[in-house]
Amino acid sequence: MKVLIYSKLFMPNPGGTQTIVLELARGLSEWGSKHREGGHVNVTVVTQTLGPWEEDASLPFNLIRCPDLRRFIRLLRETDIVHLAGPAMLPLALGLLFRKPIVIEHHGFQVACPNGLLFYEPTQSPCPGHFMAKRYDKCLECNNATMGRLKSFGQLVLTSVRRWLSGRTDMNILPTEWLGTVLKLRRMSRVHHGISPVSSLASAEPSPSTFGFQGRLVSTKGINLLLQAAAQLRHEGYNFRIKIVGDGPELNRLRLMAAESGVNIEFLGHIPENRLQESLSDVSTIVMPSLGGEVFGLVASENMQRGKLLIVSDLGALREVVGDAGLIFRTGDADDLASCMRRVLDNPTLTRSLGSAARFRIEHVFRRDRMIQEHIRIYEAALLR
């Protein structure tokens, strides 16, 4: 079976989509050697991301960066299955033109929200689903400030086109059941993301009074809520520290908020994957106060695998991933977030008990081998259509 995976973004650019595409391509390439009855899977990843990456030469699959249109069409025509990491317009249209079996794995809301985040910019809050409810004036209002009128209108049109094309593919793969309730596409199948096991080696013992945040410093991640909750706890006399891993346009504003709060907050910037575990080794609790943009929450699953306690907002995707192995607060509610953090500080044993439950949940529900098996099943079904 020849599988072509198209991902506009790929390593060395960091990100959740890139991580999952890498895990999937590696897992599919290894499938034939481990399951000979399933046959050989020949994987080619095509990306628009420039290299080089230090691991390019050692990858077990073909990697083609920035092919011209003629070469890309040849690759499409030679493959058995086209797997798109998101509803990329040109590959999707060409795949349908050449009548290739196509599956789309959705890593965002691009077929149900013009900005792809399900986040309403005017109020800085989760979007209630204006596009799907045909409140297009709200979509234009949302994106005018960041895109301008012309581009905002163009994104609205493109969202409708992507949705129409996605409905004509063989399968739409979703990492959470909740995402299906938002996208409401034809032929949907839920396949949880799975990640490779991480080393349990750590250079420090996690401290119940050390919280962490990991991710892009953008408004949708809700880091300001974390700082508001921290300031409240500091005012109540609690002693703790926060380590923030990541970079982004909100950095300077967040630094000012942190300075005014008087909380012990350390901004670590972007940390490479191979140093991340060491940097977070003394962190017992990861806080994800997201306001939008989450279709799965790879940061949550990775840190659950490390045995961290997760405190997350009750967005549908994060709630589904964390389950009962973490603490959940009302989205956008700094007081409720402070209450969860207070529980951790008042009862330090929570970090150990819920951290163990988190690791158990990841190892049994979000296994990498299960993700690969379910993709193989979907590909085989698509070839029989």
**pLDDT for the residue 145:** 81
Q: Which residues of 153-171 are buried (b: 16+ CB within 10 A; e: fewer)?
A: bebbeebeebbebbeebbb
Distance CA 81, CA 169 (A): 11
pLDDT of residue 40: 85
State the pLDDT at residue 142: 95
Q: Quick one: pLDDT at residue 136?
A: 97
Determine how many CB atoms are found less than 10 A away from the CB of residue 261.
19
Angle of helix 149-166 relative to helix 89-97, nearest 10 degrees, comes to 30
Q: Where are the beta strands (DSSP E) in the chain?
A: 2-6, 42-47, 62-65, 81-85, 102-105, 119-120, 125-126, 171-174, 188-190, 207-214, 241-245, 264-269, 283-288, 309-313, 327-329
List the pLDDT tens digit at each of the 385 positions of the chain: 999 999 999 999 988 999 999 999 999 999 866 665 656 899 999 999 998 999 999 999 999 999 999 999 999 999 999 999 999 999 999 999 999 999 999 999 999 999 999 999 999 999 999 999 999 999 999 999 888 999 999 999 999 999 999 999 999 999 999 999 999 999 999 999 998 876 554 556 788 999 999 999 999 999 999 999 999 999 999 999 999 999 999 999 999 999 998 999 999 999 988 888 889 999 999 999 999 999 999 999 999 999 999 999 999 999 999 999 999 999 999 999 999 999 999 999 999 999 999 999 999 999 999 999 999 999 999 999 8
Alpha-carbon Rg for the chain in angstroms: 21
**How far is CA 299 from each of CA 85, 89, 162, 215, 306, rounded to the nearest angstrom?**
18, 28, 27, 8, 11
- Give the per-residue pLDDT at 146: 86
Residue with tokens 């599956």: 103
Euclidean distance between CA atoms 138 and 61, whole angstroms: 44
What pLDDT sits at residue 272?
Answer: 87
pLDDT given for residue 195 in this prediction: 84
Which of 32, 22, 148 is closest to 85 using CA atoms?
22
Is 351 within 8 Å of 304 (Cβ atoms)? no
Q: Provide the token pair at 349.
A: 């044993």
Strands 207-214 and 171-174: what pairing?
unpaired
> Is residue 324 classed exposed, middle or buried when 0-12, 13-18 and 19+ CB atoms within 10 A define those classes?
exposed
Determine the pLDDT at residue 35: 60
For the record, the structure tokens of 283 come out as: 């962190």
Looking at residue 277, its pLDDT comes to 87
Q: Which domains does the chain have, with CATH numbers?
A: 2-194+367-384 (3.40.50.2000), 207-365 (3.40.50.2000)
Structure tokens at 161: 């086109």
pLDDT in tens, 177-227: 999 999 999 999 999 999 887 655 455 678 899 999 999 999 999 999 999
CA 211 to CA 171: how far, in whole Å? 40
Sequential DSSP letters for 75-144: HHHH-SEEEEES--HHHHHHHHHTT--EEEE-SS-TTT-TTSS-EEGGGTEE---TTTTT-HHHHHHHHH
Q: CA dist 253 to 224, 245, 249, Å?
A: 9, 15, 9
Give the number of other Cβ atoms within 10 Å of residue 383's Cβ: 12
- Residue at token pair 């034809």: 186
